[in-house]
Structure 1
Amino acid sequence: MAHLGLEPLATPNPFRDGAFGLGLFLLLQGLEALFSRVFPRSFRMAEAFHRELGEALVRTGLGPKEALLLSLLSAVAEEVFFRGAVQGLLLRQLGGWGVGVQALLFALLHPAPRSAFAYPLFTGVAGGLLGLSFLFTGSLVPGILAHFLHNARSFAELLSASARQTPRPKPRA
């Protein structure tokens, strides 16, 4: 299991992992607020890009249950892959630089239109924070929790915005 990056899931510490996960989620929220102020135009472009993606997902039938499942599956998959496998390998090869290289790869695999450059920049910093959490705790659980909460909040916002924009059928008389 170690070669898959799963050994950090074997002995979680519920208090530590929960506290780190919630703290990391709040840090990601603060980072997002900071990016919206520092890069307002780019941030609005990234939001528009995500809104279009969300509307496409809603058109395919994505609802709250599916959004929660997608949030969980993507959080687990990305944390196991990027922090568990990729960062684990890079740390053995590059030492501490492995966290930064992993974060760069994470950002590069979260593309956005050129005008929305703040999004890959945000994901790079977020990937670094998630990587540091894994480095300090030795567990993927805090990153999975923070990543899941961040994704779930984003999907909830997308679904809410889509519901407000979708015309409601008129009641029959």
Structure 2
Amino acid sequence: MNASPLTFLLTLELALALIGALWMRLAGYVFFPSPRPWHDTLYFLAGYGALLLLERLTERVAPAAYRELDRLMRSLGRVLREAGVGHNAAMLLAFASALGEELFFRGALLNALARGLGIPAALVLQALVFALGHPAPGRAGRLYAVWAFAAGLIFGGLYLLSGSLVPGILAHFLYNAKGFAEIAEEPGPASR
């Protein structure tokens, strides 16, 4: 790959955001309803709490696979650090992925599927596509696919219940920021 991992990932997330926004615009879907700070804040907090609960549940139900997944994520962190990705760039990637994925998977895909299949099937299918968009190798990859599917259900539920992409974007960003900050700032082998 000629481009750095950061450039590649940011380009991918920007493409998702643009495709999702264009799709939403052409289909007439509402991007953001009128501002409802308290409403959106409560849904954001509930969604973020659900993601943290999902993480703890995963750790308890499948501890060996969870440790393997943690090793996989730390190896991604090493790749990003070796590419010169620091804290600010990691936060930019966390935001870009939250924005791009929420616009595409929830704003565009979930709405389109709901029109054709109904809300329950749409919620499940968009979560499945979301999980397929987060591939990882080996046993950790299978756990990550299940985790991403459950996270897709949470994000989809946030959108359906709140009527806004804002809570999902915020919860997605904060969860990604927590993980990206941990792996981007982990010291390399030479400094241990």
Answer yes or no: same fold by TM over 0.5. yes
Alpha-carbon separation, structure 2, partners of 1:24 and 1:156: 20
**Preserved contact between residue 159 and residue 167 of structure 2 (Cα < 8 Å):** yes
Does 1:101 find its partner at 2:125?
Answer: yes
1:59-97 Cα offsets, whole Å, 9 max, x none, are: 111111111111001100000000000001000011021
**Larger Rg belongs to:** 1
Which range moves more in the overlay, 138-147 or 37-46? 37-46
Q: Given that residues 33 and 163 in structure 2 are in contact (C-alpha distance below 8 angstroms), is that contact kept between their aligned partners in structure 1?
A: no
| Equivalent residue runs for 1:1-173 within 5 Å | 3-4=23-24, 7-96=30-119, 97-116=121-140, 117-161=142-186, 163=187, 165-168=188-191
State whether residues 12 and 141 of structure 1, in contact with CA within 8 Å, keep that contact through their aligned partners in structure 2. no
List runs of 5+ in structure 2 lacking aligned partners: 1-20
Deviations 1:115-173 (A, max 9, x none): 11211101101101110110111100000000000000001111232x2x34249xxxx
Contact 1:12/1:139 (8 A) holds in 2: no
TM-score, L = length of structure 1: 0.90
CA 1:60/1:19 → structure 2, altered by over 3 Å: closer, same or farther?
Answer: same
% identity of equivalent residues = 40
Q: Is the 8 A contact 1:134 1:142 kept in 2?
A: yes
| Aligned 8 A contact 1:8 1:138 in 2 | no
The normalised TM-score by structure 2 is 0.82
**RMSD across aligned C-alpha pairs, in angstroms?**
1.8
Amino acid aligned to 1:18 = T
Q: Deviations over 1:13-49 (max 9, x none)?
A: 1111112112211110111011011011111111111
- Paired residues in the alignment total 167
For residues 166 and 63 of structure 1, what CA distance do their matches in structure 2 show? 16
In 1: Cα distance, 2:184 partner to 2:189 partner:
10
